């Protein structure tokens, strides 16, 4: 399927982007930075509000929070008990933030300025997409009486990795907001009570540094992958040994390493879920072909494998489990697949100039009104090229019921006419 022409660049920030999260049904948070070196490149978060003006998606900056010398390489967001928390990996530590939301008059937000937690007063600015549609966006915003404003306040910080050169590589929060899982270069998965940030126990099932973690939709299972080529599935409240230890089994027999892992709901089935992984070849020579794999996490059975003509960098599953998104390593391309069949339904070549560092689908369930558009799904992507892009999947064409009935009657009529003519 060809790229939708009304997709593309949503916003561009002034620092490389490494992580992307959704805060509400129409607010996203991006984070990254240039690191501790004195390069003049900022470190921190930016929050954007998304809308659709009838022809394209539009993003508007809501706030920015700078984190000083600490680059944000990974983060996760959870809303539970009426509170929203953000956990961000900063070097060897995990920094917890409280995200405060409040409703304000839309007119005041458009006219005035807003104050970030670090004291910087910033005027709301339009993004690339919005500048192309100023009149339409302003007309739409005039009909909105209230808008959500945000304030990010730092809370606790704990060290989560203890190797010789400690670095937290990944953090994941459970859906109920009670657990936090972290992984780093020391190869240990640590499970923490959240938001207390108290260490519960360590899971020792990997021999090399962690690459990714994910909680199952019902929070009873946790999957971890590392550079040792193993994907471990753990029970969050059970034994300290993995329930399953999976290795990548490519069709060509080459050695592959898992890159990312995600659980996804099975539509219309309560408490049932699938597991998806992407993997890249260990060998650096020759044509690099990545793998997308679908697993049954109950018994570790491999259900489907799709070969992609390029190494893969990022993975996302929509919150209702219907679609899977992947981003590539070299060409910066983005693809959307149907979850149960892994059939590709959208291909966006060279969506970014560099590898795709993060993906998130616009949620179908969550806080606040969703963004109304003419697409069946919308996938957001970020990269170290500082860009935030959107890629929408148009609704697949279907035949109306009345047309199908007329066609059936017509076929039956032709069949009876032919049989009568032939004397059958």
Contacts with 287 (C-beta within 8 Å, 6 or more apart), sequence order: 309
Bridge partner residues of 94 (DSSP): 89, 158
- Residues spanned by the domain of 18: 8-422
Q: What is the pLDDT of residue 268?
A: 66
Residue whose structure tokens are 């509000």: 49
Q: What CATH number has the domain bearing residue 372?
A: 2.130.10.10
pLDDT at 119 over 80: no
Quick one: CA dihedral 33, 35, 36, 38, positive or negative? Answer: negative
Contacts with 25 (C-beta within 8 Å, 6 or more apart), sequence order: 362, 363, 366, 367, 368, 369, 370, 371
Confidence grade of residue 120 (pLDDT, cut at 50, 70, 90): very low
Question: Based on the structure, what is the number of domains in the chain?
Answer: 1
Among the ranges given (7-11, 33-37, 128-132, 375-379), the one the predictor scored with the smallest mean pLDDT: 128-132
Q: What is the pLDDT of residue 102?
A: 87
Confidence grade of residue 339 (pLDDT, cut at 50, 70, 90): very high
Looking only at Cα atoms, what is the longest distance across the chain?
A: 91
- Mean pLDDT along residues 282-294: 82
Give the tens place of pLDDT for each residue, 72-85.
999 999 998 889 99
Q: What is the pLDDT of residue 140?
A: 47
Confidence grade of residue 54 (pLDDT, cut at 50, 70, 90): confident
Would 3 be classed as within a structural domain?
Answer: no
Comparing 289 with 416, which gets the higher pLDDT? 289
Q: What is the pLDDT of residue 284?
A: 67
Comparing 95 with 373, which gets the higher pLDDT? 95
Among the ranges given (95-104, 159-168, 311-320, 404-413), the one the predictor scored with the smallest mean pLDDT: 404-413
Asked if 125 contacts 134 with a C-beta cutoff of 8 angstroms, the reply is no
Would 1 be classed as within a structural domain?
Answer: no
Q: What is the pLDDT of residue 321?
A: 94
Give, for 420, the enclosing helix (H) or strand (E): helix 401-422
Give the tens place of pLDDT for each residue, 253-283.
788 999 999 999 997 676 799 999 999 998 7
Instruction: Tell me the average pLDDT of the chain.
Output: 86
Would 265 be classed as within a structural domain?
Answer: yes
Bridge partner residues of 328 (DSSP): 312
Q: What is the pLDDT of residue 418?
A: 79
- As a three-state string, the secondary structure of 100-114 is EEEEEEHHHHHHCEE
- Mean pLDDT along residues 333-349: 96
Q: Give the pTM.
A: 0.85
Would 74 be classed as within a structural domain?
Answer: yes
């Amino acid at each position: 399927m060809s790229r939708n022409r009304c997709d593309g660049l949503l916003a561009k920030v002034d620092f490389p982007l490494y992580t992307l999260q959704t805060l509400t049904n129409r607010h996203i948070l991006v984070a990254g930075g240039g690191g501790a070196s004195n390069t003049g490149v900022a470190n921190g978060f930016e929050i954007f509000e998304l809308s659709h003006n009838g022809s394209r998606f539009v993003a508007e900056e809501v706030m920015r929070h700078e984190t000083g010398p600490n680059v944000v390489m990974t983060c996760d967001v959870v809303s539970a008990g009426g509170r929203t928390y953000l956990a961000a990996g900063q070097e060897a530590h995990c920094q917890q933030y409280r995200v405060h939301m409040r409703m304000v008059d839309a007119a005041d937000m458009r006219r005035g300025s807003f104050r970030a937690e670090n004291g910087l007063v910033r005027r709301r600015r339009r993004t690339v997409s919005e500048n192309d549609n100023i009149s339409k966006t302003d007309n739409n915003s005039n009909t909105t009486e209230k808008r959500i404003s945000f304030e990010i306040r730092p809370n606790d910080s704990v060290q989560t990795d203890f190797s010789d050169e400690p670095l937290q590589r990944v953090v994941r929060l459970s859906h109920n907001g009670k657990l936090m899982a972290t992984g780093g270069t020391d190869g240990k998965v640590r499970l923490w009570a959240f938001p207390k940030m108290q260490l519960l126990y360590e899971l020792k099932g990997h021999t090399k540094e962690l690459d990714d973690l994910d909680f199952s939709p019902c929070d009873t299972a946790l999957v971890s992958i590392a550079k040792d080529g193993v994907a471990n599935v753990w029970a969050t409240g059970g034994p300290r040994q993995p329930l399953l230890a999976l290795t990548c089994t490519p069709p060509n027999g080459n050695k592959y390493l898992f890159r990312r892992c995600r659980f996804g709901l099975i539509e219309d089935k309560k408490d049932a879920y699938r597991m998806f992984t992407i993997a890249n070849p260990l060998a650096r020579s020759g044509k690099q072909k990545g793998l997308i794999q679908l697993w049954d996490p109950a018994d570790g059975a491999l259900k489907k494998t799709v070969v992609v003509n390029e190494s893969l960098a990022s993975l996302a599953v929509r919150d209702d489990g219907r679609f899977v998104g992947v981003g590539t390593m070299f060409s910066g391309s983005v693809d959307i697949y149907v979850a149960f069949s892994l059939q590709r339904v959208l291909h966006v070549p060279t969506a970014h100039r560099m590898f795709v560092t993060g993906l998130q689908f616009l949620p179908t369930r969550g806080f606040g009104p969703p963004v109304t558009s003419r697409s069946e799904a919308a996938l957001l992507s970020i990269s170290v090229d500082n860009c935030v892009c959107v890629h929408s999947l148009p609704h697949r064409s279907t035949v109306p019921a009345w047309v199908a009935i007329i066609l059936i009657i017509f076929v039956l009529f032709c069949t009876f006419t032919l049989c009568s003519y032939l004397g059958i």
